[in-house]
Copies of this chain bind each other. A is one copy, B any other.
Amino acid sequence: MARLVMKFGGTSVADLDRIRNVAAHVKREVDAGHEVAVVVSAMAGKTNELVSLCRSASLLHDAREYDAVVASGEQVTSGLLAIVLQDMGVNARSWQGWQIPIKTDGAHGAARIDDIDGSLLIERISGQGQVAVIAGFQGIAPDNRISTLGRGGSDTSAVAVAAAIKADRCDIYTDVDGVYTTDPRIVPKARRLDKVSFEEMLEMASLGSKVLQVRSVELAMVHGVRTFVRSSFEDPNAVRVMPNGDPYGTLICDEDEIVEQQVVTGIAFSKDEAQISLRRVADKPGVAAAVFGPLAEANINVDMIVQNISQDGKFTDITFTVPLADYDRAISVVKSSDKFEYESLESATDVCKVSVIGMGMRSHAGVAAGAFKALAEKSINIRAITTSEIKISVLIDAAYTELAVRTLHSLYELDKV
């Protein structure tokens, strides 16, 4: 007997047939004797429809009203799933964010969960054997109004509920059957990972592998919530099981739980970046603050930053990347600033960031050098490099994305089963 959170996204609850399929997954776990809380998203397309109603109502809409409107999507799904579960003979009830309550901060439209009191849920799922069907993506703000967590927030809801009710596992049912070494559409030999550490998943999630929302992985790491990525499209009554008894999918867990740690776990990439380079910036103390301060004030998230040691002690080159969506705004922020001087501004939007990720890199030298050599052999020019303890990222021309990803995937022997 285990206590489980099961999370189903929009495509998994797109219509009543899909909701019945979800209910069959839930019933299987209940029949196996597990205590279950389910977290659901809005039916596919519903959130977009509600968001667009708000936008049409006013371009500058009140985020609190937006939240009231948009949160209704999950409310509908939670009620419908409870009805279908009851119809199958499963004791179930729906819970809205304000009923539990899932307390968030006051940042309407992109709220963060502050606190979930799990006692009421535990009493129901454990004491009464009742499945809790929870509307994801939402909570209640300090002003007693509905808040939403921002797009994709249902993953975060699920992990937070799992932490609050001390669940043994948080199963994220999605349209893929796990986390892969890289995007299988680019590298057909990409392999599903049985296990991946929180830290690695965090790097992959923030680098464009869209399986899980970044914040949900952060939260899982902080609270040590074992999170399972698995497919909602499997036959609910004939799910595959791995040799160790775990469900078929990818377990995101503490690195201690991963016995045989790979040096490199995966290759991620993101085309969602734009590069800006300032040539011959006057190299004075505080120049970095002068460049990046205004960007931060404009709420533009700068990702890679590369500043070379100045060659003549007077001038330096600064290169950085920003999200593609903020590119135009970033350019105008930089150009309108009078806090620093530079000779020229160069920029590119057809770039891609490719990253090599692996916990094992911490104890293995030469991983970065190997990557640079392999890319050089394919004549792929590296525009910029950044590294962290468990990640190496290179910025290259977007045209070389597939070649770079495949090259690195082979280099680290991720193709091998």
Contacts and interface: CB of A to CB of B under 8 A. Distances in A.
B99 A83 contact: no
A65 B53 contact: no
Contacts of A287: none
Contacts of A50: 76
A304 interface: no
Contacts of A6: none
Contact of A68 (B54, B57, B96): B96
A291 B274 CA distance: 83
A69 interface: yes
B61 A83 contact: yes
Given A62-B86, A83-B61, A76 B98 contact: no
A181 interface: no
B86 A58 contact: yes
Number of copies: 2
Contacts of A83: 54, 57-58, 61-62, 65-66, 69
A277 interface: no
A78 interface: yes
Interface residues of A, number: 38
Interface string A42-69: 0000000010011011101110111111
Nearest to A61: B83
A80 B69 contact: yes
A64 B93 contact: yes
Contacts of A355: none
A402 interface: no
A53 to B, nearest CB: 6
A66 to B, nearest CB: 7
A145 interface: yes
A211 to B, nearest CB: 29
A80 B99 contact: no
Contacts of A146: 96
A68 B98 CA distance: 13
Given A56-B16, A99-B144, A69 B62 contact: no
A257 interface: no
Contact of A82 (B65, B72, B79, B87): B65
The 9 A-B residue pairs whose C-beta atoms are closest, nearest first, are: A69-B79, A58-B87, A72-B72, A68-B79, A57-B83, A65-B79, A61-B83, A65-B82, A65-B83
Given A64-B94, A69-B80, 6 more contacts: A58-B86, A61-B83, A61-B87, A66-B83, A75-B75, A96-B146
15 contacts: A16-B57, A54-B80, A57-B84, A58-B83, A62-B93, A65-B80, A65-B82, A65-B86, A65-B94, A69-B76, A71-B75, A72-B72, A96-B146, A99-B144, A99-B145
